[in-house]
Amino acid sequence: MQRLAFSSSSRCVRSSTNVFCARAVQSRQIQYRAGGSRLPPLVFTFDIDGVLLRGPHTIPAARRALDMLNGANPMGVKIPFILLTNGGGTHEEVRKHKLSSQLGVQIHSNQIVQAHTILKSVAHKYADKPVLVLGGLNDVVRKVAESYGFKQAYTTLDVLAWKPEAWPFHELTPEERASTKPVDFSTTPISAIFVFHDPRNWSLDMQITLDVIRSGGIIGGPYLDTPKPADQQPLPQHERAHSQGAPSQHRQVAPKGEKPPIEVVFCNPDLLWKSDFPQPRLGQGAFRMAFQTVYEALVGTPYPHVTQYGKPTAATYKFAEKVLRDRLEELAGGRVEEMPRVYMVGDNPESDIAGANAAGWPSVLVKTGVYEEARGPPTHTPTYIAEDVEEAVRWAIDREMKQK
């Protein structure tokens, strides 16, 4: 495994095959300016949890990696980057202050793409319609949704404050009650459900979600679907896989003149995520699987009107590339005609690596998060596997310099 040694005093970089010194650095800086571009040949997109942080703690290699991006590299230039995470639950402005403190560098809000940041691009569709937002603590995601442009965002805690019997197994705490909005849901038709962040109360959120979609938006209203007879329970998944053909997934189409079905939008498909606990924890992807399993058991088919965002979806990577381009144009002071090569550094083969590979980005898998080498090769093959984010950045810079 090749390791690079950076020397800030001599401005030389040594590896097993290369030595980069001040003269080479100066030459390369001149080439960038002569080419009419102030941008280096590569930029980075980093996952956060498991790459830069582990739970609330900063991974030591992260600060060294960010120092390299800030100019302590053989190119002698600052290398732009953004943070692309399936996490969320708070506003990007709030997140930037916390990350800046944790990482020891100034992070700007336009460098952060959380799982739900993409909802800024669809908020106009529901700006004046009542929607249900799930996840996070109290009404934090409601406030995030409102900042994105959703003017009528409600939570499942609002539902409990309206009718406690909607889910009698949870009694609102004083803090939760203070975060609610008074609303009569019998006259407030919900148009869509957005799972901004991992639900803290799966049972409450699942029950209200089912109430909304089965009643056409009126919580407490009669169910409009046709439940499956009790003697026609779905086959277990392992039996279904061996039966003839795949299970039917008929899309429900609203009759002409009737209200369209309720769209359910998930922002994070991760089944697992890495915290500072020894083993990975269940993520929002697990909640989606549970929701679909319960819905299918009740109705007979999976709920078809579901939209999925988050890594590794193409929509999220396309959105991230636009954010990165906007960031580059801000730094360059003008239009960027040709994007530098984008390197994705992540810890989860299923989200970070799969999405980057599909987007055509070089991908680097680090061993500080979800991926565990002892469990075998990754499910999606990265361009490179690194011990940590510091090695990932070194490898990518060295690779670009060799190609140039």
Whether residue 140 is predicted with pLDDT greater than 80 in this model: the reply is yes
Integer Cα distance of 270 and 354 in angstroms: 12
**What's residue 214's pLDDT?**
97
Let me know: does 183 contact 154? Beta carbons within 8 Å.
yes
What's the CA dihedral at 160, 165, 168, 173 to 10 degrees? 30
Mean pLDDT of all residues belonging to the chain = 86
When pLDDT is averaged across residues 218-246 and rounded to a whole number, the result is 59
pLDDT of residue 258: 64
> Which residues lie closer than 8 Å to 290 by C-beta, 6 or more apart?
202, 206
Predicted confidence at residue 228, as pLDDT, reads 63
Q: Is 129 left (phi over 0), alpha (psi -120 to 50) or beta?
A: beta
d(CA 141, CA 246): 37
pLDDT at 23 over 60: no
Question: pLDDT for 54-86, tens place per residue?
Answer: 988 999 999 999 999 999 998 889 999 999 999
> What domains does the chain contain, in order, with CATH numbers?
42-115+313-403 (3.40.50.1000), 118-225+259-308 (3.40.50.1000)
Are 183 and 160 in contact by the 8 Å Cβ rule? The answer is no
Predicted TM-score (pTM) of this structure? 0.82
Distance, CA of 400 to CA of 261 (rounded, Å): 49
Q: Does pLDDT of 22 surpass 60?
A: no
Q: What's the confidence (pLDDT) of residue 260?
A: 82
The pLDDT of 131-148, averaged and rounded, is 97
Q: Provide the pLDDT for residue 7.
A: 37
The amino acid occupying position 30 is I
Question: What pLDDT is recorded for position 13?
Answer: 41
Q: Which of 144, 80, 53, 122 is nearest to 316 (CA)?
A: 122
CB neighbours of 103 closer than 8 A, spacing ≥ 6? 52, 58, 62, 63, 66
The mean pLDDT value for 182-194 works out to 98
